[in-house]
Amino acid sequence: MRQVAPARPRTRTDELAMVVRQLRWEAVGVVSVELAAADGGDLPPWRPGAHIELVLPTGIARQYSLCGSVADRSRYRVGVLRERGSRGGSEYVHAFLRPGQPVRVRGPRDNFGFRPEPAYLFIAGGIGITPILPMVREAVRRGVPWRLAYGGRTAASMAFLDELAPHRAHVWRYPKDEAGRMPLDDWLARPRPGTALYACGPESLLTAIEEGSAHWDPGTVRMERFAARPRPAGPRSEVEVVCARSKATVTVPGDRSILSALEAAGVPVVGSCREGVCGTCETRVLDGEPEHLDDILSADERAAGDRMYPCVSRARGRRLVLDV
């Protein structure tokens, strides 16, 4: 059985009773939501890049990046883009959420893995500015070199430009209707020594960044996706999952996720997005080789093989032993 490194600090899975304190228009189609604890107490700490799961009064739960101040324990702030074809999350926030309304929150959780570095290059597209904004503040606080390339459909659609204005010497704005596409080649062709790249935005932007930064040193490029990349369709191989703590063995058919099979078997697991992007269902792997299909782990983390996201990931063999 593999020797497993100590797990990362577990993220909160219990719910916090909170209340909407304020809503504010930040750009065309983007509203910020300030949340405070219902009892007025301090909120759990978080790091730049973290997100929460907002459980709306309708029962719908959605993940949103925290974009306030990490030093302010009295409130959380998220930015919500009104999405076309919304299934009820962003539509409800924009149309019905009001100050004083009670909500529940799970988290914070952190998949971005923001770390101290000698210098930073940040690239944000659209609502992808939300997890990047606290990273910018941390770089400013630490006094390290940083640059931000920020693109959007129009300047009016680009949120938090007012908060970035004091740092305009470090910020390059690319409203598509004025400047065309962001010139990624200019930003990625010659990586500066000691610089780490953090990026968030639409899939087309992140795919282009992946391709354009392939020559960067391993571990220097981190990205967060708001939606899962397309995965191969069709059933996969059956797998036997041994649940070490629950003393159960579950056979997972090829047309079912490991997470849903464990839930059906009564194994205590927690899931949310079920797309491999939020990190809620992170599970330690004690034995066997996982087939990583998530959009969270880096190449090095996948190679380690000591954790997986069973909402989407499978096994390369016929058996896995999980710490559940």
pLDDT value, residue 12: 45
* Residue 207, domain CATH: 3.40.50.80
- Identify whether residues 163 and 103 lie together within a single domain: no
Please indicate, yes or no, whether residues 105 and 124 belong to a single structural domain of this protein: no
pTM, rounded to two decimals:
0.81
Q: Is residue 2 part of a domain?
A: no
Q: Are residues 151 and 63 in the same domain?
A: no
Does 125 share its domain with 209? yes
3-state secondary structure the chain: CCCCCCCCCCCCCCEEEEEEEEEEEEECCEEEEEEEECCCCCCCCCCCCCEEEEECCCCCEEEEEECCCCCCCCCEEEEEECCCCCCCHHHHHHHCCCCCCEEEEEEEECCCCCCCCCEEEEEEEHHHHHHHHHHHHHHHHHCCCEEEEEEECCHHHCCCHHHHHHHHHHEEEEEHHHHCCCCHHHHHCCCCCCEEEEEECCHHHHHHHHHHCCCCCCCCEEEECCCCCCCCCCCCCCEEEEECCCCEEEEECCCCCHHHHHHHCCCCCCCCCCCCCCCCCCEEEEECCEECCCCCCCHHHHHHCCEECCCCCEECCCEEEECC
Residue 298 pLDDT:
80
Whether 148 maps to a domain, the answer reads yes
Q: Are residues 166 and 184 in the same domain?
A: yes
What pLDDT score does 1 carry?
Answer: 27
Q: Does residue 91 lie within any of the structural domains?
A: yes
- For the chain, residues with pLDDT lower than 70 are 1-13, 87, 228, 232-235
220 and 244 part of one domain:
no
* CATH code of the domain covering residue 276: 3.10.20.30
**Side-chain-facing half-sphere of 204: CA atoms under 13 Å:** 6
> Which residue, 90, 95, 135, 100, is CA-closest to 116?
135
Q: Do residue 70 and residue 131 come from a single domain?
A: no
pLDDT digits (tens, 9 = 90+) for 116-153: 999 999 999 999 999 999 999 999 999 999 999 999 99
pLDDT at 235: 66
Give the CATH number for residue 88: 2.40.30.10
Clarify whether residues 214 and 123 are in a common domain: yes
Please, are residues 305 and 225 in contact by the beta-carbon 8 Å criterion? no
* pLDDT in the model for residue 233: 67
Domain count, the chain: 3
Query: What pLDDT shows up at residue 76?
Result: 98
Check residue 300 and give its pLDDT.
82
CA distance 46 to 29: 26
pLDDT for residue 274 = 86
**Which among 33, 205, 222 is positioned nearest to 111, based on CA atoms?**
222
Note down the domain range covering 92: 15-109
Rounded to 5 degrees, what are φ and ψ at 266?
A: 85, 15
User: Is 40:17 a contact under the CB 8 Å cutoff?
Assistant: no
pLDDT in the model for residue 5: 32
